[in-house]
Amino acid sequence: SRYFEANGTAYMVMNYESGMSLSQLLKRIPRPDEPMLRQILMPLLEGLQAVHEAGFLHRDIKPSNIFIRDTGAPLLIDFGAARLAIGGATRTMTSILTPGFAPLEQYSKDGNQGPWTDIYSLAAVMYRAVAGDNPPDVVTRMKDDVVMQSLIAARDRFSPGFLHAINRGMEVDEKKRPQTVPEWTAMFTGEAFAAPLPPPAAGAVAT
Protein backbone atom coordinates (compact mmCIF):
# COMPACT_ATOMS: atom_id res chain seq x y z
CA SER A 1 0.00 0.00 0.00
CA ARG A 2 2.99 2.32 0.51
CA TYR A 3 6.73 2.39 1.02
CA PHE A 4 9.12 4.45 3.11
CA GLU A 5 12.83 4.84 3.72
CA ALA A 6 14.41 4.54 7.18
CA ASN A 7 17.47 3.08 8.88
CA GLY A 8 19.45 3.30 5.66
CA THR A 9 17.08 0.99 3.77
CA ALA A 10 13.59 0.90 2.27
CA TYR A 11 10.38 -0.80 3.39
CA MET A 12 7.18 -1.84 1.65
CA VAL A 13 3.96 -1.83 3.68
CA MET A 14 1.06 -4.25 3.19
CA ASN A 15 -2.05 -5.08 5.17
CA TYR A 16 -1.72 -7.59 7.98
CA GLU A 17 -3.01 -10.99 6.92
CA SER A 18 -3.70 -14.04 9.07
CA GLY A 19 -2.77 -17.41 7.61
CA MET A 20 0.33 -19.12 6.25
CA SER A 21 2.46 -19.27 3.13
CA LEU A 22 1.87 -21.96 0.55
CA SER A 23 5.27 -23.42 1.38
CA GLN A 24 4.11 -23.85 5.00
CA LEU A 25 0.79 -25.31 3.84
CA LEU A 26 2.57 -27.88 1.67
CA LYS A 27 4.54 -29.03 4.71
CA ARG A 28 1.26 -29.66 6.54
CA ILE A 29 -0.48 -31.16 3.51
CA PRO A 30 2.28 -32.67 1.34
CA ARG A 31 -0.13 -34.21 -1.18
CA PRO A 32 -2.96 -31.75 -1.84
CA ASP A 33 -5.65 -32.91 -4.25
CA GLU A 34 -6.71 -31.21 -7.46
CA PRO A 35 -9.81 -29.42 -6.04
CA MET A 36 -7.64 -27.86 -3.34
CA LEU A 37 -5.01 -26.72 -5.83
CA ARG A 38 -7.64 -25.31 -8.16
CA GLN A 39 -9.11 -23.33 -5.25
CA ILE A 40 -5.68 -21.76 -4.79
CA LEU A 41 -4.74 -21.41 -8.45
CA MET A 42 -7.80 -19.87 -10.07
CA PRO A 43 -7.92 -16.68 -7.91
CA LEU A 44 -4.15 -16.30 -8.39
CA LEU A 45 -4.65 -16.40 -12.15
CA GLU A 46 -7.21 -13.59 -11.89
CA GLY A 47 -4.85 -11.51 -9.77
CA LEU A 48 -1.88 -12.17 -12.01
CA GLN A 49 -3.89 -11.15 -15.06
CA ALA A 50 -4.68 -7.83 -13.35
CA VAL A 51 -0.96 -7.31 -12.59
CA HIS A 52 -0.07 -7.92 -16.24
CA GLU A 53 -2.86 -5.68 -17.50
CA ALA A 54 -1.41 -2.92 -15.31
CA GLY A 55 1.88 -3.34 -17.17
CA PHE A 56 3.87 -5.19 -14.53
CA LEU A 57 5.57 -8.56 -14.14
CA HIS A 58 5.94 -10.13 -10.70
CA ARG A 59 9.09 -12.14 -11.60
CA ASP A 60 9.44 -14.00 -8.29
CA ILE A 61 6.42 -16.28 -7.91
CA LYS A 62 7.20 -19.18 -5.60
CA PRO A 63 5.44 -21.01 -2.73
CA SER A 64 6.81 -18.65 -0.08
CA ASN A 65 5.39 -15.65 -1.97
CA ILE A 66 1.87 -17.07 -2.07
CA PHE A 67 -0.01 -16.46 1.17
CA ILE A 68 -3.07 -18.50 2.08
CA ARG A 69 -5.45 -16.57 4.30
CA ASP A 70 -7.33 -18.31 7.10
CA THR A 71 -10.37 -18.15 4.85
CA GLY A 72 -8.51 -20.22 2.24
CA ALA A 73 -8.22 -17.31 -0.20
CA PRO A 74 -4.74 -16.97 -1.76
CA LEU A 75 -2.76 -13.75 -1.92
CA LEU A 76 0.25 -13.08 -4.15
CA ILE A 77 2.79 -11.11 -2.12
CA ASP A 78 6.33 -9.68 -2.31
CA PHE A 79 6.51 -7.51 -5.39
CA GLY A 80 10.12 -6.56 -4.61
CA ALA A 81 11.29 -8.03 -7.94
CA ALA A 82 8.37 -6.61 -9.96
CA ARG A 83 9.20 -4.48 -12.96
CA LEU A 84 7.32 -2.50 -15.56
CA ALA A 85 6.90 -4.58 -18.67
CA ILE A 86 6.03 -1.72 -20.99
CA GLY A 87 7.29 -2.63 -24.43
CA GLY A 88 7.28 -6.32 -23.58
CA ALA A 89 10.60 -8.05 -24.09
CA THR A 90 12.48 -5.01 -25.37
CA ARG A 91 13.42 -3.71 -21.93
CA THR A 92 16.60 -4.81 -20.20
CA MET A 93 15.77 -6.19 -16.76
CA THR A 94 17.94 -7.10 -13.79
CA SER A 95 18.49 -10.80 -13.19
CA ILE A 96 16.46 -11.71 -10.12
CA LEU A 97 15.47 -15.34 -9.84
CA THR A 98 14.76 -18.32 -7.62
CA PRO A 99 16.25 -21.54 -9.06
CA GLY A 100 13.57 -24.07 -9.93
CA PHE A 101 10.85 -21.44 -10.19
CA ALA A 102 12.55 -19.07 -12.64
CA PRO A 103 12.40 -19.65 -16.41
CA LEU A 104 15.44 -19.55 -18.66
CA GLU A 105 14.84 -15.97 -19.84
CA GLN A 106 15.36 -14.66 -16.29
CA TYR A 107 18.95 -15.86 -16.31
CA SER A 108 19.89 -13.09 -18.75
CA LYS A 109 19.41 -9.34 -18.41
CA ASP A 110 18.33 -9.29 -22.04
CA GLY A 111 16.03 -12.30 -21.69
CA ASN A 112 12.67 -12.29 -23.45
CA GLN A 113 10.57 -11.61 -20.34
CA GLY A 114 6.81 -11.14 -20.44
CA PRO A 115 3.59 -12.61 -19.01
CA TRP A 116 4.90 -16.05 -20.03
CA THR A 117 7.70 -15.54 -17.49
CA ASP A 118 5.28 -15.39 -14.55
CA ILE A 119 3.29 -18.25 -16.09
CA TYR A 120 6.37 -20.49 -15.90
CA SER A 121 6.89 -19.62 -12.24
CA LEU A 122 3.28 -20.26 -11.26
CA ALA A 123 3.28 -23.52 -13.23
CA ALA A 124 6.41 -24.49 -11.29
CA VAL A 125 4.55 -23.78 -8.04
CA MET A 126 1.80 -26.17 -9.15
CA TYR A 127 4.46 -28.71 -10.11
CA ARG A 128 5.87 -28.45 -6.57
CA ALA A 129 2.44 -29.21 -5.14
CA VAL A 130 1.75 -32.08 -7.55
CA ALA A 131 5.16 -33.77 -7.51
CA GLY A 132 5.90 -33.17 -3.84
CA ASP A 133 9.35 -31.81 -4.63
CA ASN A 134 10.85 -28.57 -5.92
CA PRO A 135 11.01 -28.33 -9.70
CA PRO A 136 14.41 -28.90 -11.27
CA ASP A 137 16.45 -25.87 -12.24
CA VAL A 138 15.72 -24.87 -15.83
CA VAL A 139 19.41 -25.08 -16.79
CA THR A 140 19.47 -28.69 -15.59
CA ARG A 141 16.31 -29.35 -17.57
CA MET A 142 18.09 -28.41 -20.78
CA LYS A 143 20.28 -31.53 -20.35
CA ASP A 144 17.97 -33.90 -18.50
CA ASP A 145 14.30 -32.91 -18.31
CA VAL A 146 12.20 -35.01 -15.94
CA VAL A 147 9.26 -32.62 -15.57
CA MET A 148 6.89 -34.47 -17.90
CA GLN A 149 7.76 -37.85 -16.38
CA SER A 150 7.08 -36.53 -12.88
CA LEU A 151 3.72 -35.16 -13.98
CA ILE A 152 2.83 -38.43 -15.72
CA ALA A 153 3.58 -40.24 -12.45
CA ALA A 154 0.84 -38.16 -10.79
CA ARG A 155 -1.90 -38.98 -13.33
CA ASP A 156 -3.62 -41.30 -10.85
CA ARG A 157 -4.35 -38.27 -8.63
CA PHE A 158 -4.87 -35.46 -11.15
CA SER A 159 -6.81 -35.01 -14.36
CA PRO A 160 -4.85 -35.16 -17.65
CA GLY A 161 -5.94 -31.61 -18.55
CA PHE A 162 -4.65 -30.20 -15.25
CA LEU A 163 -1.28 -31.90 -15.67
CA HIS A 164 -1.05 -30.89 -19.32
CA ALA A 165 -1.64 -27.23 -18.46
CA ILE A 166 1.16 -27.34 -15.89
CA ASN A 167 3.47 -28.99 -18.40
CA ARG A 168 2.69 -26.36 -21.04
CA GLY A 169 3.31 -23.57 -18.55
CA MET A 170 6.74 -25.02 -17.78
CA GLU A 171 8.00 -25.24 -21.36
CA VAL A 172 11.69 -24.29 -21.41
CA ASP A 173 11.21 -22.36 -24.67
CA GLU A 174 9.10 -19.31 -23.79
CA LYS A 175 7.55 -19.30 -27.26
CA LYS A 176 5.96 -22.70 -26.58
CA ARG A 177 4.28 -21.53 -23.36
CA PRO A 178 0.88 -19.85 -23.21
CA GLN A 179 1.63 -16.20 -23.89
CA THR A 180 -1.06 -14.69 -21.67
CA VAL A 181 -2.82 -15.65 -18.44
CA PRO A 182 -6.25 -15.93 -20.14
CA GLU A 183 -4.76 -18.34 -22.68
CA TRP A 184 -3.31 -20.46 -19.88
CA THR A 185 -6.45 -20.24 -17.76
CA ALA A 186 -8.46 -21.67 -20.64
CA MET A 187 -6.35 -24.83 -20.43
CA PHE A 188 -7.38 -25.35 -16.81
CA THR A 189 -11.05 -24.58 -17.38
CA GLY A 190 -11.32 -26.77 -20.46
CA GLU A 191 -12.22 -23.86 -22.73
CA ALA A 192 -9.05 -24.58 -24.71
CA PHE A 193 -8.26 -28.01 -26.02
CA ALA A 194 -5.71 -29.68 -23.77
CA ALA A 195 -4.10 -32.75 -25.29
CA PRO A 196 -3.42 -35.35 -22.60
CA LEU A 197 0.10 -36.20 -21.57
CA PRO A 198 1.51 -39.26 -23.32
CA PRO A 199 1.30 -42.59 -21.49
CA PRO A 200 4.31 -43.73 -19.47
CA ALA A 201 7.06 -45.35 -21.48
CA ALA A 202 7.04 -49.14 -21.56
CA GLY A 203 8.65 -50.52 -18.46
CA ALA A 204 8.54 -47.18 -16.64
CA VAL A 205 7.67 -47.32 -12.98
CA ALA A 206 5.73 -44.41 -11.43
CA THR A 207 7.23 -43.28 -8.16
Q: DSSP letter at 114?
A: S
Q: Would you please indicate which residues are annotated as catalytic (active-site) residues?
A: 60
DSSP element (H, E) containing 171 = none
H-type helices in the chain, by residue range? 22-28, 34-53, 115-131, 138-141, 147-152, 160-169, 181-189
CA angle 190, 194, 199 (to 5 degrees): 130
Q: Is 105 helix (H, G, I), strand (E, B) or coil?
A: helix
Cα dist from 135 to 20, 43, 125, 129, whole Å? 21, 22, 8, 10
